[in-house]
Amino acid sequence: MQRLRRLVRQRSARQAENVFVVEGAKVLAEALRAGAGIEAVFLGPGGSEELADRGLDVGARVFWLEPGVLERVADTVTPQPEIAIVRDVAVDLSSLRGATLLVVCVDVRDPGNAGTILRTAEAAGADGVVCCEGSVDFFNPKAVRASAGSLFHVPVVAGGDPVAVLEEIGNWGQRRLGAVARSGTDYATLDLTNPTAFVLGNEANGLPAQVEPLLDERVSIPMAGHAESLNVGMAAAVLCFEAARQRRVAAIVATETP
Amino acid sequence: MQRLRRLVRQRSARQAENVFVVEGAKVLAEALRAGAGIEAVFLGPGGSEELADRGLDVGARVFWLEPGVLERVADTVTPQPEIAIVRDVAVDLSSLRGATLLVVCVDVRDPGNAGTILRTAEAAGADGVVCCEGSVDFFNPKAVRASAGSLFHVPVVAGGDPVAVLEEIGNWGQRRLGAVARSGTDYATLDLTNPTAFVLGNEANGLPAQVEPLLDERVSIPMAGHAESLNVGMAAAVLCFEAARQRRVAAIVATETP
């Protein structure tokens, strides 16, 4: 249990062992469905017997725990009765070459936003999400919960210096669009049907100055009223679904053109 | 303090007194900026003297509290050192007649989603948000925090039977578009430049059967991958900003047409 507790709490422990922790029946089911490597499943009273069986089927060790044990391990007050150690699913940046839609997170700090971004990226059909150094660990338990299992379905790159990442994807021909709260080009006026990478910055401070020279364009979501800015998760949804919308339109036009 | 504690925790207490509670300097500043009626401001150690002064300026009673008092009142573990009792800002449904963009929440339960919807509605330029009976109280402290002050800038209708609300706004000529996870019309293929009301359902169960006959159309956000559905807050952002986008395009076309 000491090991599990460490893996829940410490990014360094997760990185040293190349594993992360998922909590709850829903996310564990997604992990199994996606064929992720499940190393061990821990179940408290009321845990899903079906998930325990499916864990055994894929070679995981399965442990039933006494009441109160999970509470000492998990990072929520009332943990769900399933928790599992899953082998790292992060991919190398180079595997995303050829992508047509990417999300690059520079210094996104809130695990809830990280999860929302993963969920959005998957739903909008993005080819991958890059979370650069300085961002929250997208494999921390809170982000994993917030992703609702999306991180098993959309390729995630963990780490990488933002400047180096933006240089590399620029060399691939990705158009790097930095989201800024104001004074950028209206995102919806741009052609988003070509290879596009949305670059998202810090919740409070936006994009750091060092990445500015590596942006092909600064984009903003025009806002009414007194609204200061959308949170970064909502902005990601608006941007990615506009790209998806434009691509549906382009696909229809392509089909209809003789 | 007993009264404040009740107002934080009990919807019935808020309704009986026609007030609600805002926490934190940011939201309180928005309330002041919007000219909301501030009845009382309570500050703990480290509370903003500037906000205290601005509270006095608008006729609020101001109380400085001993260390530890706010912690017993607020609903967060480490409350911000400003908390205020604000007079109800909800409006009547009839005041939204003539709206061109509305969001109607039927049975939205999560206060975080409520706050996100308010924030989205304001930023996308919606004319109002209707939270029907059965939905979470959009004036509960968690929703107020999540709205980041938007509920002082976008008109909110609290309550109302969903069927009666949809009948009334239908009589006004609002096109009522019910968001459904799948099998609805692609939202982006519809003309959203005319008076439009997005109708959002429960996080788990979607829209109740009773409102179906009152929808003019069922709309879905096409999704890639294994994604089950966007959460209701993200869906609201995608839908409202598509309406905003179409309206910007229409305004440009109108300007350019001689």
pLDDT band of A258, cuts 50, 70, 90: low
* A231 vs B contacts (CB less than 8 Å): 116, 119
CA distance A40 to A34: 16
pLDDT band of A79, cuts 50, 70, 90: confident
Q: Is A146 helix (H, G, I), strand (E, B) or coil?
A: helix
Nearest CA in chain A to B30: A226
Would you say A136 and A111 are in contact if contact means Cβ atoms under 8 Å apart?
A: yes
pLDDT value of residue A130: 97
Residues of chain B with pLDDT under 70: 227, 257-258
Whole-model pTM over 0.80: yes
Q: Which of A125, A148, A226 sits opposite B153 (nearest CB)?
A: A226
Minimum distance, in Å, between the CA of residue A30 and any CA atom of chain B = 9
Best mutation target among B30, B33, B117, B226 (most A Cβ atoms within 10 Å) is B226
Q: Which of B217, B223, B105, B224 is nearest to B157 (CA)?
A: B105
pLDDT tens string A53-63: 999 999 999 99
Q: Is A27 helix (H, G, I), strand (E, B) or coil?
A: helix
Residue A123 has pLDDT above 80, yes or no: yes
pLDDT value of residue A72: 86
Beta bridge partners of A186: A220
| Domains of chain B listed by start with CATH number | 2-87 (3.30.1330.30), 93-256 (3.40.1280.10)
Q: Do B230 and A122 touch (CB under 8 A)?
A: no
Q: Give me the amino acid identity at B247.
A: R
* A111 vs B contacts (CB less than 8 Å): none
Q: Which of B116, B188, B238 sits opposite A238 (nearest CB)?
A: B238
